[in-house]
């Protein structure tokens, strides 16, 4: 018997249900919200007044966009899902054009050096988000705040209030579409965002592979994605005092070699947790992201795919860390240690990468944790079996990984 479908796990808000019903009433969601690559490009150029897309170092972005739009139209997105996707595509196109125009006006932006970024990665639900927040309190680090990286260049006459409003609309709509999403991952205009969000306008990366249930002929391009990522960081960094970037996305566990090819002096902080806790959470999170846009999610297929991909990636990291074949400088944080002693866990990771945990940073961590409410948006409950996994089988398949990083099995 297959897994319970998303429709039995979550009830859509009435406004979402009604808007989705408008699609069939209008002859289909595709007619209600048309998505055409040429029309999107024309609209972006007309609305920004920028005709030349420039060269942001990421190659054939238009070819990727057209392939991506084909994949979008080949997916069974509902009306709200197509509306969200159309807005994101248009915003990404406008970001590209405005960023290219800003670089044309000030070529020195392209000369900015992204020096020794500190990158947080690890399986979902292994502590990456809270660690990202706590490391972001380090006065020597700079975080990619949503308002700055979604809109790294603004058209004339558009100020900070408008930029914040635009960012809030895109980021916080996700929890409006399904309120339970906020318990899984909070998005706000004033919070740091993951790298997949920064580089979405490359039309090459994991944002799109995460939201689509059918990728069609669209193929991710990690090198192009990271090249655009660099262009955004350069623009946000330009003209500001020097500070190292703090970056984060769980997806880097699949692409550490590519990450370190793009940023050879990066330091990576890897989070670790019992795979019987992280793997089902990854499935539930991905399914929720897709549920925001479609009714058609095969959870059995999704669980099998995520299980295979993360097992291979984590096993490879463990084996390559053991034999020394994985490039880079690493600090490790076990979830259990992070929960029990956050300052001690961070101090250990910092020692491994040659960074000092200052008294100022220690005090900021203590204040932040004291003020941070637990479960502000509810608690994300899940078990391995609910999302298609056998806990013992997961641990057996990743025995080398758990032994390498001394990861304890958890109850539940």
pLDDT digits (tens, 9 = 90+) for 323-335: 999 999 999 999 9
Q: How far apart are the first and last CA of the chain?
A: 22
57: Cα within 13 Å, side-chain hemisphere: 17
Q: Which DSSP letter does residue 119 get?
A: E
Q: Tell me the mean pLDDT in the region 129-140.
A: 96
Residues 258-262 have a mean pLDDT of 97
Measure the CA–CA gap between 177 and 13, rounded to whole angstroms. 7
The beta strands (E) that lie in 323-407 are given as: 329-334
Which residue's structure tokens are 């491994």?
Answer: 352
Q: Which two tokens stand for residue 122?
A: 């690890």
Reply yes or no on whether the pLDDT at 47 is more than 50.
yes
Q: Which residues pair with 268 in a beta bridge?
A: 119, 330
CA distance 127 to 295: 29
Percent of the chain residues topping a pLDDT of 70: 97
| Per-residue confidence band for 2, with pLDDT thresholds at 50, 70 and 90 | confident
pLDDT tens, residue by residue, 358-398 = 999 999 999 999 997 665 544 556 688 999 899 999 999 99
Tally the C-alpha atoms within 13 A of residue 41's C-alpha that lie toward its C-beta.
Answer: 13
Which residue in the block uniquely carries the two structure tokens 């390559």? 320
Q: Is 298 helix (H, G, I), strand (E, B) or coil?
A: coil
Helix ranges, 75-221 (H): 79-105, 128-135, 146-150, 160-177, 181-184, 195-198, 206-211
Average pLDDT across the chain, whole number = 94
The pLDDT of residue 326: 96
**CB within 8 Å of 337: residues ≥ 6 apart:** 344, 345, 348
pLDDT of residue 124: 86
Read off the pLDDT of each residue in 119-134 and give the average, rounded to a whole number: 94
**pLDDT value, residue 377:** 47
Q: Which residues contact 156 (CB under 8 A, 6 or more apart)?
A: none
Architecture in CATH for domain 6-404: 3-Layer(aba) Sandwich (3.40)
Angle at 43 between CA 40 and CA 46, to 5 degrees: 150
Structure-model confidence comparison of residues 267 and 386, the more confident one? 267
Average pLDDT (174-189) is: 92
What is the rounded CA–CA span in Å between residue 295 and residue 293? Answer: 7
Please check the confidence at residue 315 and state whether its pLDDT lies above 90.
yes
| Domain spans of the chain, in order of start | 6-404
Q: What is the mean pLDDT of residues 158-164?
A: 93
Residue 52 has which token pair? 């030349």
Q: Report d(CA 69, CA 214) in Å as an integer.
A: 11
């Amino acid at each position: 018997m297959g897994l319970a479908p998303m429709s039995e796990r979550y009830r859509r808000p009435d406004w979402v249900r009604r808007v989705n019903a408008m699609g069939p009433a209008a002859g289909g969601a595709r007619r209600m919200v048309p998505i055409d690559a040429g029309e999107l490009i024309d609209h972006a150029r007309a609305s920004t007044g920028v005709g030349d897309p420039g060269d942001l170092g990421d190659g054939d972005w238009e070819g990727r966009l057209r392939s991506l739009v084909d994949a979008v139209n080949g997916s069974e997105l509902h009306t709200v899902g197509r509306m969200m996707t159309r807005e994101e595509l248009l915003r990404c196109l406008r970001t590209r054009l405005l960023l290219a125009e800003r670089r044309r006006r000030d070529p020195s932006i392209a000369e900015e050096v992204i020096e020794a970024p500190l990158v947080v990665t690890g399986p979902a639900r292994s502590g990456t988000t809270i660690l990202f927040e706590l490391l972001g309190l380090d006065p020597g680090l700079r975080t990619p705040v949503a308002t700055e990286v979604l809109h790294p260049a603004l058209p004339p006459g558009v100020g900070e209030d408008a930029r914040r409003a635009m960012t809030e609309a895109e980021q916080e709509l996700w929890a409006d579409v399904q309120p339970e999403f906020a318990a899984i991952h909070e998005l706000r205009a004033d919070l740091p965002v993951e790298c997949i969000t920064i580089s979405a306008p490359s039309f090459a990366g994991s944002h799109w592979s995460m939201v689509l249930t059918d990728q069609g002929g669209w193929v991710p391009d990690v090198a192009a994605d990271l090249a655009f990522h660099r262009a955004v960081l350069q623009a946000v960094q330009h003209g500001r005092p020097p500070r190292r970037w703090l970056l984060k996305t769980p997806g880097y566990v699949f692409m550490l070699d590519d990450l370190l090819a793009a940023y050879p002096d990066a330091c990576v902080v890897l989070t670790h947790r019992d795979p019987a806790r992280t793997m089902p959470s990854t499935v539930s999170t991905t399914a929720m992201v897709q549920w925001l846009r479609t009714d058609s999610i095969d959870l059995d297929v999704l669980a099998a795919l995520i299980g295979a991909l993360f097992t291979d990636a984590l096993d490879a990291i463990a084996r390559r860390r053991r034999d020394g074949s994985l490039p880079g400088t690493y600090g490790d944080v076990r979830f259990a240690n992070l929960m029990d002693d956050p300052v001690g866990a961070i101090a250990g990771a910092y020692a491994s990468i040659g960074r000092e945990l200052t008294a100022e940073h220690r005090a900021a961590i203590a204040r932040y944790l004291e003020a941070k409410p637990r479960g502000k948006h509810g608690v994300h409950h899940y078990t391995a079996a609910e999302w298609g996994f056998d806990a013992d089988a997961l641990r057996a398949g990743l025995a080398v990984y758990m032994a390498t990083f001394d990861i304890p099995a958890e109850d539940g």
